[in-house]
Structure 1
Amino acid sequence: MQLTSYQGRALSILDNIGASIGDLIEIKKGKYSFTGILMPTYSADDSIVVLKLENGYNIGISVENSDSIRILKKSQSELATKELVREEGMSEIKIISTGGTIVSKIEYETGAVRPALSTKEILNFIPEIKNVAKISSEVVFSILSEDMKPEYWIKIADAVKRGFDQGNKGIVVAHGTDTMTYTAAALAFSLKKIQGPVVLVGSQRSSDRPSSDATINLYSAVYVAKNFQIGEVVINMHSTSSDTYTYIHRGVKTRKMHTSRRDAFQSINDIPIAKFDWAKKEIVIINKNYKIPDDETLVDAKFSSKAFLLKAFPGLNGEVIDAIVGSGIKGMIIEGTGLGHISSELIDVLKKAIKDGVFIGMTSQCLFGRVNMNVYTTGRTLQKVGVTPLDDMLPEVALVKLMWTLAHYEELEDIKKVMRSNLAGELSPRHVINEFPRWEYE
Structure 2
Amino acid sequence: MSGDDQLKGYHGFARKKLEGAGVKIWSIVRIINPDATYEGILLPRSELGDEEHVVLKLKTGYNVGVKITEETVIEEVGYSPGHYALPERKVEFKPGKPLVSLIGTGGTVASRLDYRTGAVIPAFTPQELFSAVPELEEICNLETVSLFEIFSEDMQPEYWVQIAKKVAEEINRGVDGVIVAHGTDTMHFTSAALSFMLKDLTVPVVLVGSQRSSDRPSSDAAINLISSAIVASRSDIAEVVVCMHGSSSDDYNLIHRGTRVRKMHTSRRDAFRTIGDIPLGVVANGKIRMLRNDYKRRSDHGKVTVDSKIDPKVVLLYTYPGMQPDIIEHIVKTGYHGIVLAGTGLGHCPKTIIPQIERAVKDGIAVAMTSQCLYGFVGMNVYERGRDLLKIGVIPCGNMLPETAYVKLVYVLGHTRDADEVREMMTSNMCGEITSGEPYNAYLILQGVEES
Q: TM-score range by the shorter chain?
A: 0.7 to 0.9
- The equivalent of 2:297 in structure 1 is 292
1:314 aligns with 2:335: no
Change (3 A) 1:364 1:65: closer
- The equivalent of 2:273 in structure 1 is 266
CA contact 1:199–1:234 (8 Å) conserved in 2: yes
CA contact 1:99–1:144 (8 Å) conserved in 2: yes
Q: How many angstroms does 1:81 deviate by?
A: 2.1
Change (3 A) 1:3 1:253: same
Equivalent in 182, 199, 202 of residue 195 of structure 1 = 202
**Residues in 1 aligned to 2:283 and 2:421: alpha-carbon distance in whole angstroms:** 40
CA contact 1:93–1:225 (8 Å) conserved in 2: yes
1:118 aligns with 2:102: no
CA contact 2:112–2:132 (8 Å) conserved in 1: no
Post-superposition Cα deviations, 1:273-306, rounded to whole Å, max 9, x if no partner, equal 11101xx211111122211124331211222122
Q: How many angstroms does 1:174 deviate by?
A: 0.3
Post-superposition Cα deviations, 1:188-212, rounded to whole Å, max 9, x if no partner, equal 0000111110000000111232221
Equivalent in 242, 250, 260 of residue 243 of structure 1 = 250
Percentage of matched positions with identical amino acids: 41
| Structure 2 gap segments, 5+ residues each | 447-452
- The equivalent of 1:283 in structure 2 is 288
Q: How many angstroms does 1:134 deviate by?
A: 0.3
- The equivalent of 2:42 in structure 1 is 38
**Residues in 2 aligned to 1:112 and 1:305: alpha-carbon distance in whole angstroms:** 39
**Residues in 1 aligned to 2:199 and 2:368: alpha-carbon distance in whole angstroms:** 23
Equivalent in 387, 406, 417 of residue 394 of structure 2 = 387
**Mean Cα displacement is larger for which, 211-220 or 121-130?**
121-130
1:410 aligns with 2:445: no
1:376 aligns with 2:383: yes
Query: How does 1:346-361 map onto structure 2 within 5 Å?
Result: 346-361=353-368
**Mean Cα displacement is larger for which, 344-353 or 403-412?**
344-353
- The equivalent of 2:6 in structure 1 is 3
CA contact 1:233–1:251 (8 Å) conserved in 2: yes
**Residues in 2 aligned to 1:365 and 1:49: alpha-carbon distance in whole angstroms:** 41
CA contact 1:185–1:400 (8 Å) conserved in 2: yes
Change (3 A) 1:76 1:165: same
**Mean Cα displacement is larger for which, 340-349 or 115-124?**
115-124
**Mean Cα displacement is larger for which, 53-62 or 295-304?**
53-62
- The equivalent of 1:69 in structure 2 is 77
Q: How many angstroms does 1:65 deviate by?
A: 8.5
Post-superposition Cα deviations, 1:130-181, rounded to whole Å, max 9, x if no partner, equal 1100000000001110110111111100110111122110000000000000
Tell me the amino acid that sits aligned with residue 43 of structure 2. M
Change (3 A) 1:410 1:85: farther
Q: RMSD of the TM alignment (CA)?
A: 3.1
CA contact 1:308–1:331 (8 Å) conserved in 2: yes
Q: Secondary structure at the match of 2:194?
A: helix
TM-score, normalised by the number of residues in structure 2: 0.85
**Residues in 1 aligned to 2:414 and 2:119: alpha-carbon distance in whole angstroms:** 38
**Mean Cα displacement is larger for which, 314-323 or 52-61?**
52-61
Change (3 A) 1:112 1:235: same
Change (3 A) 1:80 1:312: same
- The equivalent of 1:57 in structure 2 is 63
Post-superposition Cα deviations, 1:18-57, rounded to whole Å, max 9, x if no partner, equal xx6347x47598xx99664431377868xx9742233433
Tell me the amino acid that sits aligned with residue 70 of structure 1. G
Tell me the amino acid that sits aligned with residue 430 of structure 2. L
**Residues in 2 aligned to 1:386 and 1:339: alpha-carbon distance in whole angstroms:** 16
Change (3 A) 1:107 1:260: farther
User: How many residues are paired up?
Assistant: 421
**Residues in 1 aligned to 2:427 and 2:411: alpha-carbon distance in whole angstroms:** 13
Q: Secondary structure at the match of 1:434?
A: coil
**Residues in 1 aligned to 2:336 and 2:55: alpha-carbon distance in whole angstroms:** 51
Change (3 A) 1:165 1:43: closer
Q: How many angstroms does 1:101 deviate by?
A: 4.9
CA contact 2:248–2:270 (8 Å) conserved in 1: yes
Q: Secondary structure at the match of 1:143?
A: coil
**Residues in 2 aligned to 1:139 and 1:412: alpha-carbon distance in whole angstroms:** 39
| Structure 1 gap segments, 5+ residues each | none
**Residues in 2 aligned to 1:36 and 1:276: alpha-carbon distance in whole angstroms:** 38
**Residues in 2 aligned to 1:240 and 1:218: alpha-carbon distance in whole angstroms:** 16
1:420 aligns with 2:427: yes
CA contact 1:98–1:174 (8 Å) conserved in 2: yes
CA contact 2:408–2:426 (8 Å) conserved in 1: yes
TM-score, normalised by the number of residues in structure 1: 0.86
1:170 aligns with 2:173: no
Q: How many angstroms does 1:335 deviate by?
A: 0.5
Post-superposition Cα deviations, 1:381-425, rounded to whole Å, max 9, x if no partner, equal 111111110000000000000001111112111111011111110
Change (3 A) 1:346 1:7: closer
CA contact 1:105–1:206 (8 Å) conserved in 2: no
- The equivalent of 2:449 in structure 1 is none
- The equivalent of 1:21 in structure 2 is 25
Post-superposition Cα deviations, 1:58-93, rounded to whole Å, max 9, x if no partner, equal 243988486x8234x542121112244869xx9700
Post-superposition Cα deviations, 1:197-237, rounded to whole Å, max 9, x if no partner, equal 00000001112322211111011111110010101100000
